[in-house]
Amino acid sequence: AIQLTQSPSSLSASVGDTVTITCRASQGISSAFAWYQQKPGKAPRLLIHDASSLESGVPLRFSGSGAGTDFTLTISSLQPEDVATYYCQQFNSYLTFGGGTKVEIK
Amino acid sequence: QLQLQESGPGLVKSSETLSLTCTVSGGSINSGTYYWGWIRQPPGKGLEWIGSIYYSGNTYYNPSLKSRVAISVDTSKNHFSLKVYSVTAADTAVYYCTRDGRGSGWYGIYFQHWGQGNLVTVSS
């Protein structure tokens, strides 16, 4: 099975900061990749699909990039409502998720 | 607007069978080429795909769970169901039902729609 390694596992940043989360796949997965946001007690919300396509309704401060084995989620100006855990997912071979990155406000 | 709602017992005894149903509203399970799936999340942990089903009944499962799970669909009731057999404490989790985001007729895709989740606790 394809393993996804997210880093960091947690981070703390100030409002307005640019935040970067990375996800590395154990083998190449082309652009079969997505990012989700999960707030406490809620279901995950799709943010990015096909590595860099922004889901409808998601704020433009969220962006995704990467292909192959290395992927990045960037939040360009962190807002208080962005406090959440972020997960990556690959759908190249079966379906697996990364371990998550918890984002907090400093 | 498409909505998914999980239902089922919140408590299951160890070695028994966990059964959940996902009722779909705002859309029909057999009206498009989407896969409908189940994902679970143990308390405080990450997400794990369990399996996915097409309106025709075609299924795909996570290899690590395949021997103990079964997903079925009832298009007349517009719902699909999950069974996990011989449960242990490790099966304690929030169970989410989902729908894929592309409708390409292939299960291997991202998840666009999610239910609110149903916490199932396995007791000894």
Residue of B46, B96, B101 with shortest CB distance to A49 = B101
Q: What are phi and psi of B90, to 5 degrees?
A: -65, -15
**Chain B residues touching A92 at Cβ < 8 A:** 108
How close does chain A come to B13, measured CA to CA in Å?
A: 24
Which pLDDT value is given to residue B31? 82
The residue of chain B nearest to residue A31, with distances taken between CA atoms, is: B109
B95: closest chain A residue by CA: A43
Which residues in B lie closer than 8 A to residue A46 (C-beta atoms)?
Answer: 101, 110-112
Distance CA A39, CA B33 (A): 29
Whether the CB of B112 is below 8 Å from some CB of chain A: the reply is yes
Nearest 5°: the CA angle A99, B41, B6 is 145
pLDDT per residue as tens digits for the range A20-48: 999 999 999 999 999 999 999 999 999 99
Whether the pLDDT of residue B105 is over 90: the answer is no
Cα(B79)–Cα(A12) distance, rounded to whole angstroms? Answer: 41
Query: Which residues in chain B are closer than 8 Å to A34, comparing Cβ atoms?
Result: 110-111
- Where residue B50 falls among pLDDT bands split at 50, 70, 90? very high
DSSP 8-state class, residue A52: T
Confidence band for B81, pLDDT divided at 50, 70 and 90: very high
CB contact under 8 A, B46 and A97: yes
Q: Which two tokens mark A33? A: 């990749």
- What pLDDT, in 10s, does the model give residues A44-101? 999 999 999 999 999 999 999 999 999 999 999 999 999 999 999 999 989 999 999 9
